[in-house]
Amino acid sequence: MALKNAAFSDERELLYEDGVPLENEIHGTISWDDLVLPLRTYLKRIGFRAFVCSNAPVAWKRGVDAIGPDVCVANGGENHAQEGWVPWLEGGLYPTLIIEMLSKSTESRDRDEKMQIYRDVFKTPDYFLFESSTGGVEAYRLKAGIYERVHKDRHGRFRCASLPLLLGVVDGRLRWFEKNGRMLPVYEELAAQAEAEHARADAECARADAEYTRAERLTSRLR
């Protein structure tokens, strides 16, 4: 989304202007439901510390408008309700993986200005471009200061250099995969799992209550 006058308090007061809104709703769904939430859940489960956000302002130079990657990961960082990511206020940590959703209005900037910042300033190891309308993925890995194309493996997935995961497309949606091939659940799948766990917990409580009641009745008869 466009980010203007998104100010941090005190020394974090910076002006953010990405300039281009999300092209369509599917980009927001992909960024948050398919990528950010599943990744946060997975990293928390394995104890991997990283800041993960979607369309949050990321500062890259003092006094210059920040930019807003569609998906941004900064290894070693953490989410603590900050309004964006300011590397020099976060231990000097820069984004280690960035994903941009291509559209007619953003593609040239994603391939030019932003790519240069990610390469030369952030030195981001993993950069992915995703075209949701076609399901096309371009993967780049930083080597000796240059982004080199990374080709998909025999399963059609792209290995990340900065995370123990791969990215692939399933039914037109960009998805995370573990190295063993297991696909990380997206938002609706995580919600369904949580609901199932809640139902199982309720059933277990009901079973425990029934057992307790039967035990009480038996004890009463024995008396």
Residue 156 lies in a domain: yes
Q: How far apart are CA 133 and CA 113, in angstroms?
A: 23
Q: Are residues 84 and 146 both part of a single domain?
A: yes
210 CB contacts (<8 Å, ≥6 apart)? Answer: none
For 84, the 3-state DSSP assignment is coil
pTM: predicted TM-score of the whole model, two decimal places: 0.80
Q: Give the structural domain span for 210.
A: 186-223
Helix, strand, coil percentages for the chain (3-state, nearest 5): 35, 25, 40
In the sheet that holds 126-131, the strands lie side by side as 50-53, 71-75, 97-101, 126-131, 136-143, 146-150
Is residue 48 domain-shared with residue 95, that is, in the same domain?
yes
Per residue in 12-34, pLDDT tens? 554 444 444 445 556 767 899 99
Q: What is the tens place of the pLDDT at every residue in 65-115?
A: 999 999 999 999 999 988 899 999 999 999 999 999 999 888 999 999 999
Both 167 and 222 in one domain: the answer is: no
Q: How many domains does the chain have?
A: 2
Pair 43, 123 in one domain: yes
